[in-house]
Amino acid sequence: MSEGKPAGIGREDAWLEDAWLAEAWLEETAVEGALMGTDSSRRRRRRYAALVAPRPRRHPAIAQPSPLAASGPFVVDSPIGALAVGRRNGHLVADWLVNGAAAPPCASDDLAALETVARIRAYLAGDFSSLDALPVGNGTPFQRSVWTASRRIPFGETRTYLWVAHELGGGHALCRAIGQALRRNPLPVVVPCHRVVAASGLGGYAGAREGAMTSIKRGLIDFEARVASQEFEARCPSSWFAPLAGC
């Protein structure tokens, strides 16, 4: 269990506290599983319900209620945007709530959705490895290979569509199909399709080349770059490089 709240990114407000609590829940669940040899669904649901109990504070830039609704769609709020986790045709999905988009439905005791929400919140708190344990979404073998390749892009970095093509053993001719596969990614953030950019710029996101969706893509890229920079600074303080300043 975490001993205290992290310093976080920016000021400690409601959305960051939610993310920290979600991370703590994941740690406790892992410890419990190791001690008992099995996961207890009832205990996991009860612990998660306690962690996400409504609190009055909210980030001022967020319009959606936080944290999770008692039933229906699970909405993860952040300054980047509101991401709703649910089910579509029985498969787990995550939708950005922009331009009047409706959140996908989800049962209140859906443990896979609960874990996905908890790990996304931990990611938003700066835990860039929290999403690694989650599988990619439902899709064709080719789509899943593209999504898996995008997960090999390091946190805080970007790669081009051609880079993904090379990862799959192809070249320029494959780039268009890769773009279509990324457009159909059912689990944005979990599968970091935002890290794939055009050779000449940002590129599209979820089928859009401008507007709210591309703003979210830019926000995710900037967020990861900032966290990665802080992580590097923590491991390698700038004072280490001071003697080289005059070189």
Taken as a whole, the chain contains a residue count of 247
175 a catalytic residue:
no
DSSP state of 238: G
Determine the Cα–Cα distance for residues 46 and 43; give it in Å rounded to an integer. Answer: 5
DSSP state of 188: B
Cα 185 from chain centre: 13
In contact, 181 and 89? CB cutoff 8 Å = no
Question: Which is catalytic among the residues 106, 175, 193, 247?
Answer: 193
At residue 130, what is the residue type? S
DSSP 24-36: HHHHHHHHHHHHH
Determine the Cα–Cα distance for residues 206 and 177; give it in Å rounded to an integer. Answer: 14
Determine the Cα–Cα distance for residues 64 and 211; give it in Å rounded to an integer. Answer: 19
* N-term to C-term CA, the chain: 45
Show which residues are catalytic.
193
